Amino acid sequence: MKTRVGFGFDVHRLVEGRELWLGGIRIDHSLGLLGHSDADVLIHALCDALLGAANMRDIGFHFPDTAGKYKGIDSKILLRKTVELVRGKGYSIGNADITVCAERPKLNPHIPAMQQCLAECMAIDPDDISIKATTTERLGFTGREEGISAYAVVLIEKP
């Protein structure tokens, strides 16, 4: 069995007039994340971790933000395509562990729905997806609510 680990990181800016999408679900908030896609920072970090584990470059390489076809795209579509790429190289997905840094809104009530949503996209067990939320104690850009960041680690394996 070949076992590999991957790491991903992403940041998006918080602005007025955008919906907030995180972990594949829409969350009620006064601000939303700005980006070419729906700017789901959690999914983007997860995609980069998956691609990194398989040594398949990064999300911008596969889904360039200059391409019109990805404008406003639901990041769940990018996640499904990323999982296809990784499985296409012969790997199965073990587990993912994700941390989101946001001062507001409180994310803990939404975590079970995110786990369920991501598990369906990735065709794995929700128990294999850990999502953790933290503030940064009002420090830095996340603390000032200028943006949200996310970190992800995944394990993949093939016989």
Q: Which is nearer to Mg ion, 37 or 115 (CB)?
A: 37
Q: Which is nearer to Mg ion, 44 or 110 (CB)?
A: 44
**CA-atom Rg of the chain in angstroms:** 15
Dist. CA 49–CA 116, nearest whole Å: 19
Tell me the sheet residues that pair with 136: none
Q: What's the min distance (Å) between Cβ of 37 and Mg ion?
A: 7
Answer whether 22's CB lies under 8 Å from 41's CB.
yes
Q: What's the min distance (Å) between Cβ of 75 and Mg ion?
A: 8
What's the helix, strand, coil split of the chain in %, to 5? 35, 30, 35
Q: What's the min distance (Å) between Cβ of 10 and Mg ion?
A: 4
**Which stretches of the chain bind Mg ion, using CB under 5 A?**
10, 44
Query: Among all residues, whose Cβ is closest to Mg ion?
Result: 44
Q: Which is nearer to Mg ion, 40 or 103 (CB)?
A: 40
The pairing of beta strand 129-134 with beta strand 20-22: unpaired
Q: What's the min distance (Å) between Cβ of 67 and Mg ion?
A: 14
Q: Which is nearer to Mg ion, 57 or 138 (CB)?
A: 57
